[in-house]
Structure 1
Amino acid sequence: MPSLPDRLHRTFFRTLSLLSPKGQGLLLRRYFDWRHRAPDPWKLATDGYEQQKYQVTLKQLPPRPYRRIIEIGCAEGVFTGALAAAYPDAEITGVDVSERALARARARVPENGRVRFVHADFLTHRCEPRHDLVFCSETLYYLGRHERLRRASAQLSDLLTADGVLVAVHPWPEAARLHGYLDAHGTLARISDEVYEIPPRPFAVTVWSPKG
């Protein structure tokens, strides 16, 4: 059960989703730039819980030679760095709505021939398709109401190759609702789903691949 601050937080973002996609994107950019006024506001680089979440997420992946990876909502690039280390031969793209966060991501994981960062609102920006690994972690609940979640599910599905893998990670039990939109999209088949009862917040790691 989400705490009262979490519930108020979600209510705020559901209200934002009553705006047009462009208006919602503008306010999300301002909000996340404000949150990143100080480095690493969620302590993704130092908190033991976050580090454990990254480890179990990577272990959940089907063992494949991933070549093109995209991370939606990469923030300051902490997990992007973990992906670059785990898959040294892959091309990796991090996407985030906050330019302030991306400036720190570029300092943490320098852009080169195989790592790049894109400043974009995922709901309105058309990312390049044909990725064989797509990550979306702690992001969907910021999008608010049903229409936006359905749109996000379509966007995520469109990023995949025919044999690609999509991974979503969100707090449990809220993940059951959020990940249900990806199930309902109709083009994805769930291949694994694991709930981790790790304090302070249980979370679910769900993996899909395109239906044959």
Structure 2
Amino acid sequence: MPSLPDRLHRTFFRALSLLSPKGQGLVLRGYFEWRHRTPDPWRLATDGYEQQKYRVTLTHLPPRPYRRIIEVGCAEGVFTGTLAAAYPDAEITGVDVSERALARARARVPEGGRVRFIQADILTHRPEPRYDLVFCSETLYYLGRHERLRRASEQLSALLAPDGVLVAVHPWPEANRLHGYLDVCGTLTRLSEEVYAAPPRPFAVTVWSRGPG
């Protein structure tokens, strides 16, 4: 059961999704700019729980070459750096709404021939080319209600190249609802899910593949 602060947090973001997509995007950008007024507000670089989550997430990937990777909601680039080390031959893109977070991400993982960071909104951004591997972690619950989650799920599916892999990581049991929107995308097939139920914050890692068409 989520704590009272978590429930209030989620209620606030559900209310934001009553705005237009553009209005919601502007408020979310302002919120995350405010949260990143100090470095690493969620301690992604130092918290043992977060580091363990990154490690186990990588173990769920189907063993295949990944040439193009995108991380949606990359924050200050902590996991982006992990991906760059794990896949030294891949082109990697980090996406976030906060330019302040992205400035720190660029300092952490310098942009060059194969790593780049872009400021964009998951509800509207559809870059080309498409990607072999898409990550979305601790992001979907900020989008709130049914219509926005459906739209975000379609956007994530649209990022994938044929036979591409999508990985979503969110708190459990909330992930059961959030990941359900990805299950009903006609282009995605669920490959696996594992729930890590140990305290302090249970989470689920779910993996899908896009069809070859």
TM-score for the superposition, normalised by structure 1: 0.98
SS of the aligned residue for 1:56 comes to: helix
Matches of 1:153 and 1:77 in 2, distance apart?
22
Greater shift, 127-136 or 77-86, is seen at 127-136
Q: Contact 2:10–2:144 (CA<8 Å) still a contact in 1?
A: yes
Matches of 1:107 and 1:199 in 2, distance apart?
32
Aligned ranges for residues 90-129 of structure 1 at < 5 Å?
Answer: 90-129=90-129
Task: State whether structure 2 residue 180 is matched by structure 1 residue 180.
Answer: yes
* 1:82 corresponding residue in structure 2: 82
Which one-letter code corresponds to 2:70 in the other structure?
I
SS of the aligned residue for 2:169 comes to: strand
Shift of 1:125: 2.2
Matches of 2:199 and 2:44 in 1, distance apart?
15
Q: How many residue pairs align between the two structures?
A: 212
* 2:208 corresponding residue in structure 1: 208
* 1:44 corresponding residue in structure 2: 44
Matches of 1:59 and 1:187 in 2, distance apart?
24
Matches of 2:149 and 2:111 in 1, distance apart?
30
* 1:165 corresponding residue in structure 2: 165
Runs of 4 or more off by more than 2 Å in structure 1?
125-129
Structure 1: which 5+ runs fail to align?
Answer: none
* 2:28 corresponding residue in structure 1: 28
Deviations, residues 155-174 of structure 1 (Å, cap 9, x unaligned):
01111111110000000000
Q: Contact 2:168–2:205 (CA<8 Å) still a contact in 1?
A: yes
Q: Contact 2:126–2:159 (CA<8 Å) still a contact in 1?
A: no
Task: State whether structure 2 residue 156 is matched by structure 1 residue 152.
Answer: no
Shift of 1:198: 3.0
* 1:199 corresponding residue in structure 2: 199
Q: Contact 2:126–2:158 (CA<8 Å) still a contact in 1?
A: no
Q: Contact 1:129–1:158 (CA<8 Å) still a contact in 2?
A: no
Matches of 1:198 and 1:78 in 2, distance apart?
23
Matches of 1:41 and 1:199 in 2, distance apart?
20
SS of the aligned residue for 1:93 comes to: strand
Q: Contact 2:123–2:152 (CA<8 Å) still a contact in 1?
A: yes
Aligned CA-pair RMSD: 0.8
Matches of 1:198 and 1:120 in 2, distance apart?
34
SS of the aligned residue for 1:170 comes to: strand
Matches of 1:96 and 1:64 in 2, distance apart?
26
